[in-house]
Amino acid sequence: MATEEASLCALESLMTEFFHSCTTNERKREIEELLNTFASQAGSWRHCLYFLSHSRNEYVMMYSLTVFENLVNKMWVGVASEEKAELRSCLPKLLLSQHAVLPFFIRNKLCKVIVDIGRQDWPMFYHDFFSNTLQLVQTPAMMSLGLVLLKMTSEELVCPREDLSVARKEELRKLLLEQIPTVLNLLTGILETVWEKHSGSATTPPPSPTSGESAVVMGSESGALCSLALECLAHLFSWIPLSSSITPALLASIFHFARFGCQLPIKAKSTTATSNGDTTTTTVGDTLPANGGTGLPRGVQQVGQSERARLGVLAMNCINELMCKNCVPLDFEEFLLRISQQTFFLLQKLTNTNSHSNTNTNTHTVKNRLQELDESYLEKFTDFLRLFVSVHLRRIESNAQFPLVEFLALLFKYTFNQPTHEGYLACLDIWSIFLDYMTTKIRSRLADSDSVLNRYKDALVLLLREVLNRIQFRLNQSQLEELDDETLDDDKQTEWQRYLRQSLEVVAKVMELLPSQTFSTLFPVLQEDLDIYLGLQQFIVTTGTSRRLNITAEADCRKLHCALRDLSSLLQAVGRLAEFFTGDVFTARSSDALAIVQRLVEVTCYGSQISLYDVETAVPSVLKPDLIDVHAQSLAALQAYSHWLAQFCSEVQRQQDQTRFVSLITSSMAATTPLISAKVPEKLLLSACHLLVSMATTVRPVFLVSLPAVQNVFNLITENHNHQLPHEAHVLVCRALSTMLLLPWLCLPESEQQWPSRSTSHSRLLSALTQHYRLLPRPPAYHHNNKAVMQQTLSVLRDLVESISGESTKSRQICYQSLQESVQVSLALFPLYIQQPEITDEMLSFFLTLFQALRVQMGVAFTEQIIQTFLSMFTREQLAISILQEGSAGSKVVQKFLKILQVVVQEPGHTFKPLLPSILSLCMEQVYPIVAERSCPDVKAEMFELLFQILHQNWRFFFKSSVLSSVQRVGAGEQMENEAQFTAAMQAFGQSFLQPDIHIFKQNLSYLEILNTKHKLYHKKLFQSSMLFHFINVLLQVLLHKSHDLLQDDITVAVYNMAAVNFHTFYSSFLPEFLNGCQGLDPHQRATLARNFTPERDLPSFTQSVYRLVNDLRYYRLCNGSLPPGTLKL
């Protein structure tokens, strides 16, 4: 005893020293080694049992429990049966005797150790483990402890780690499922008992939400008990299937507690002590006890509002776990109806507009009510509504007992009284789900679509109006100004942009269902703000060269600010709806669309004519951005109707009356082209450029290039070299001018396309754009402007080629003719700039685009010349310099070069086949040795894609298959060529599976699978004889090491496909050989693993066998590693 006391004192001293702030890291390592040495000694757990019983030092207790945890989870197999029995007896006794005084985290750790023992030994050696837990749950004084153990049992036994065999995991789940009815009955009893004790009316139906609000006052002990029971239920519901064990009584009890989250903070309420405990029911309006107390018995602490809210949150967790189960048996329709009705009641309660004084109030009361409720509860309730609508609405909609329209009315009230923007957007998501459901339903039931729509028409129109109201500053300025409109999120949008986008998506979904109502609702609101905007001209005062907006009163400026912000938003809404005027509905809705486009053209012309963007204002930091944004959004909205304009163009050509169309295009260009200037704010400039591009690429009017406004842009770009547009705008304008000349005009025959004159014009355009580039000195003479000229010209040319990559052969021919001299210049310049990676990168990007879009036009000879030039420049030394600067411009150059080679090897036919040996040599002998043992993820990914494309697109370079062998799908008669290169490529793929980069692993595994699907790679004789089992072995080892667990399914499918080549050989030869090569197993375990891998040939069964093999092999190794040295294995 004295020795143990001394050991305890020494341990306490060490632990205190270890956690002392003055202890050095070196001393901490020494102490850690001492503690680990002590823990690894046989029988150390006996000392720890003494420490745990006699110390109140939290560090000592935690260390002792860690020793127990390690013993149970890692060494249990090697512990003597007598010691196991002693532990199964001592630890529960210790828990029962000290649970009340132990810190909660120590108590929980001790509970987990006991549950871990149960996971190993129940029911064979620890037969009373679960019955003891249930007994504790039924003992009032021990109920909390029992619930903690019960929840841990659910967590640890249902989702165990790898320290159990698959058979044991399945056994535990089956054993627990047998106990579920008993467990759920016990938990139902606890919740019902507490509720009855505190309300006295558990058997009566819940009160109407419109009646006076009743509240339940609960003691803290009862509250804690219910929290534990609800937590336990939530975890059980996460894995048990829906069954009759989930009774109406249990559901009712959970919803009772879900109502706690709906209750406002208790302020002045009376309570009366009961004869047996700690609560009473009170109703608002009762008077407080004379002494101002709670009415609870002395010594009983009342549950506070945060604890009540937490009970509501926990109850909602339980309900959500049930709601997310998509697989609902047919006989559970009644179950769903009951949940739906309870949902309806909760939603009524949350949106109840009656005040505490029983006087009528306006709808702001709902928002105030929601603001006072716990934020977490509202989040959980919104999650619940999302699950209800997305998963179960289709099941419950047709049930006459559920008032769906009334439910939508309550959801509407709940949505538009949300206290936070995030809560409101989450509710909009629910409406989007509902609208998607409605759209799908109507498309599948076209015969009675009107009757379906009429049922919800009023609700949808109301939704549309309110969503439009919520994006308007004149109605919600203070709330909308709170939204950040500067910081970009991961999706490159601000908080305000996300808010507006989600709102407009709802508007668009309503438009799809109710087009005329949406149009008639939106257009008047837009017109109201347009009238203000179009009336601004009268307030512009000109003084000399400056112009000023003569609106200075604070109220007028605020009104103008709101009107402009709203006009900007509504213009975006109009643009978003453009898709609903094209296609099959073009004719039916053409008058509405024409009215919109005419109005948009009018607005853009107005903005450009009076140049509101450079007018001085009273509040320049606010109003100037507003004016610019409205102008930009009007251009963007008009751009959105470019597809409608293209269809309108085709229509008027058939009618041979183009007056209105010509007028629209002419006016829109007159509004657009003056904005293409360096003096215009960039936001507005870019909107104008994008509109010009859409007119050129989508609408393609025959007369566009001849318009004076467009000719001015040609002159600006080709003659005025000092225009200095920002780079992005310059590229867009060049693209628009090029595509005007290159793309065929719509609805005109080839004979009327005027290709000769357009080709001449395009050559002149390109000549002007590349003039400085083509005159660059060779060899390069330093000039600070040379680099900028090269980079800008090459990026423009690349963009021009990309823009016509998918167009007709004639367009591409003309483009290449105009580019030919610049391409020759680029090839000549390339070797001179090989040491300047920024320029080389731009050049290779240009050549890559050329190869992707114009390789046919370039011709074989010139293409081969380009590739040979590149191959000669990229020596191994040059590649090493570039690649080893990871993430640098040099590394990007190599990536672009490899991409170019990918395009070349994918070319069908024999055109570039002579280049294959050189490309393979570069890939395997120059690039691969540099990247093989290094990270270099970007270069490595491109190199392996090149290797894959060589194999995939040039399979006959390696396998000269005959027609007969192709039909028979056998490898016996295959003719193999270039075997060494093929083997090297396969080895490179295999080596990549031994490295940690999960992206390369996933990519290469998919490449092998594609090669097998398309070319029967795994069936090839060479692969079968010398590679197949090596690949399977590597993939199984990856699964065993759990290094790429995210790809577990992909790896298993690949192993199956490889094994499927010859299942007999796999089961009879590979599997025994693989198991014999696995270290850390005894013969009996190997035999068991082989026996459990059932020789099935379907993928699901094979997958299960692989999972069992990997799990059980790891388990056996863990067990064997925990055995004491010298243990005799039978």
3-state secondary structure 392-447: HHHHHCCCCCCCHHHHHHHHHHHHCCCCCHHHHHHHHHHHHHHHHHHHHHHHHCHH
DSSP result, 703-734: TGGGSHHHHHHHHHHHT-TT----HHHHHHHH
Give the CA distances from residue 750 to residues 744, 811, 1035, in Å, rounded to whole numbers and listed in that order.
Answer: 8, 12, 57
Angle at which helix 786-803 crosses helix 837-858, to 10 degrees, equals: 30
Torsion angle of C-alpha atoms 720, 721, 724, 730, degrees rounded to 10: 90
- Residue 34 or residue 268, greater confidence: 34
Q: Tell me, what's the pLDDT at 1124?
A: 63
Q: How many CB atoms lie within 10 A of CB 898?
A: 26
> How confident is the model over 1064-1072, as a mean pLDDT?
94
> How confident is the model over 558-576, as a mean pLDDT?
96
Name the phi and psi angles at 289, rounded to 5: -60, 155
- Tokens 């009510």 identify what position? 369
Query: What are the tokens at 35?
Result: 């503690």
Q: How many CB atoms lie within 10 A of CB 448?
A: 10
CB-hemisphere CA count at 13 Å for 91? 29
Integer Cα distance of 4 and 37 in angstroms: 17
Q: Which residues contact 621 (CB under 8 A, 6 or more apart)?
A: none
Contact 719/696 with Cβ under 8 angstroms? no
Query: What are the tokens at 320?
Result: 């959500």
> How confident is the model over 45-70, as a mean pLDDT?
92
Integer Cα distance of 597 and 661 in angstroms: 11
Enumerate long-range contacts of 106-110, CB under 8 Å, 24 or more apart: 106/58, 106/61, 106/62, 106/65, 107/145, 107/148, 108/148, 108/152, 109/62, 109/65, 109/69, 110/52, 110/65
Condensed to tens digits (0 to 9), the pLDDT of residues 452-500 reads 888 889 999 999 999 999 999 999 999 999 999 999 888 889 999 999 9
Q: Assign 1019 a pLDDT band (cuts: 50, 70, 90).
A: very high
> How confident is the model over 339-360, as a mean pLDDT?
73
Most distant pair of Cα atoms in the chain: their distance:
112
> How confident is the model over 779-806, as a mean pLDDT?
87
Three-state DSSP state, 472? coil
SS (H, E, C) 385-396: HHHHHHHHHHHH
Phi-psi region of 148 (alpha: psi -120 to 50; beta: other; left: phi over 0): alpha
Name the phi and psi angles at 172, rounded to 5: -65, -45
Contact 919/950 with Cβ under 8 angstroms? yes
DSSP result, 46-96: HHHHHHHHH---HHHHHHHHHHHHHHHHHSGGGS-HHHHHHHHHHHHHHHH
Which of the given ranges, 357-366, 633-642, 876-885, has the highest pLDDT on average?
633-642
- DSSP state, residue 215: E
Q: Which residues contact 943 (CB under 8 A, 6 or more apart)?
A: 898, 923, 927, 928, 931
Statement: residue 933 has pLDDT above 90: no
Statement: residue 151 has pLDDT above 90: yes
Name the phi and psi angles at 207, rounded to 5: -65, 160
Q: Strands 546-549 and 540-543, how do they pair? A: antiparallel
**Which of 160, 346, 314 lies closest to 237 in space, CA to CA?**
314
**Which of 118, 257, 225 lies closest to 179 in space, CA to CA?**
118
Of the listed ranges 19-28, 106-115, 309-318, 412-421, the one predicted with least confidence: 19-28
How far is C-alpha 996 from the geometric centre of its chain's CA atoms?
Answer: 24
Statement: residue 304 has pLDDT above 90: no
Of the listed ranges 232-246, 349-363, 921-935, the one predicted with least confidence: 349-363
Condensed to tens digits (0 to 9), the pLDDT of residues 429-448 reads 999 999 999 999 888 877 77
Q: Tell me, what's the pLDDT at 681?
A: 95
> How confident is the model over 178-203, as a mean pLDDT?
84
Q: Assign 359 a pLDDT band (cuts: 50, 70, 90).
A: very low
DSSP result, 312-372: HHHHHHHHHHHHT-----GGGHHHHHHHHHHHHHHHHHHT----TTS----THHHHHHHHH
Q: Tell me, what's the pLDDT at 332?
A: 73
**Which of 698, 571, 700 lies closest to 636 in space, CA to CA?**
571
Q: Tell me, what's the pLDDT at 449?
A: 80
Integer Cα distance of 302 and 304 in angstroms: 6
Give the CA distances from residue 487 to residues 133, 483, 561, 855, in Å, rounded to whole numbers and listed in that order.
Answer: 53, 10, 21, 43
Q: Assign 783 a pLDDT band (cuts: 50, 70, 90).
A: low
Statement: residue 967 has pLDDT above 90: no
Q: Tell me, what's the pLDDT at 759?
A: 96
> How confident is the model over 294-315, as a mean pLDDT?
70
Averaged confidence pLDDT in the chain: 87
Q: Tell me, what's the pLDDT at 1104?
A: 95
Of the listed ranges 135-144, 253-262, 686-695, the one predicted with least confidence: 253-262
Contact 262/346 with Cβ under 8 angstroms? yes
Q: Is the peptide bond preceding residue 780 cis, with omega within 30 degrees of 0?
A: no
Contact 151/233 with Cβ under 8 angstroms? no
Integer Cα distance of 467 and 511 in angstroms: 13
Contact 935/886 with Cβ under 8 angstroms? yes
Give the CA distances from residue 289 to residues 263, 286, 371, in Å, rounded to whole numbers and listed in that order.
Answer: 22, 9, 29
- Tokens 């009970």 identify what position? 311
Statement: residue 1129 has pLDDT above 50: no
Contact 516/553 with Cβ under 8 angstroms? no
Ranges of H-type helices in 418-552: 421-444, 449-470, 473-481, 495-513, 515-534
Statement: residue 607 has pLDDT above 70: yes
> How confident is the model over 988-1016, as a mean pLDDT?
95
Statement: residue 881 has pLDDT above 90: no
Q: How many CB atoms lie within 10 A of CB 18?
A: 17
Integer Cα distance of 1031 and 1058 in angstroms: 8
Q: Assign 213 a pLDDT band (cuts: 50, 70, 90).
A: very low
DSSP result, 283-307: ETTPPPPTT---SSPTTPPBPPHHH
Query: What are the tokens at 490?
Result: 């991961």
Q: Tell me, what's the pLDDT at 875?
A: 82
Q: Tell me, what's the pLDDT at 961?
A: 65
Statement: residue 269 has pLDDT above 50: no
Q: Tell me, what's the pLDDT at 757?
A: 95
Q: Strands 280-283 and 214-217, how do they pair? A: antiparallel
> How confident is the model over 1059-1073, as a mean pLDDT?
94
Q: Which residues contact 144 (CB under 8 A, 6 or more apart)?
A: 224, 225, 228
Condensed to tens digits (0 to 9), the pLDDT of residues 842-853 reads 999 999 999 999
Integer Cα distance of 658 and 748 in angstroms: 15
> How confident is the model over 389-393, as a mean pLDDT?
89
Q: Tell me, what's the pLDDT at 368?
A: 86
Q: Tell me, what's the pLDDT at 423?
A: 95
Statement: residue 892 has pLDDT above 90: no
Statement: residue 1054 has pLDDT above 70: yes
The partner residues of 540 in beta bridges, in order of sequence, read 549
Q: Tell me, what's the pLDDT at 964?
A: 47
Q: Assign 261 a pLDDT band (cuts: 50, 70, 90).
A: confident
pTM: 0.86
Contact 1086/139 with Cβ under 8 angstroms? no
Q: Assign 652 a pLDDT band (cuts: 50, 70, 90).
A: confident
Condensed to tens digits (0 to 9), the pLDDT of residues 74-86 reads 888 888 899 999 9
Integer Cα distance of 119 and 153 in angstroms: 8
DSSP H or E segment with residue 1117: helix 1099-1122
Q: Assign 364 a pLDDT band (cuts: 50, 70, 90).
A: low
Residue type, 761: S
- DSSP state, residue 544: T
Of the listed ranges 171-175, 285-289, 867-871, 1114-1118, the one predicted with least confidence: 285-289
Q: How many CB atoms lie within 10 A of CB 282?
A: 20
Percent of the chain surpassing pLDDT 90: 61
- Residue 920 or residue 42, greater confidence: 920
- Residue 305 or residue 415, greater confidence: 415
Q: Tell me, what's the pLDDT at 144?
A: 95
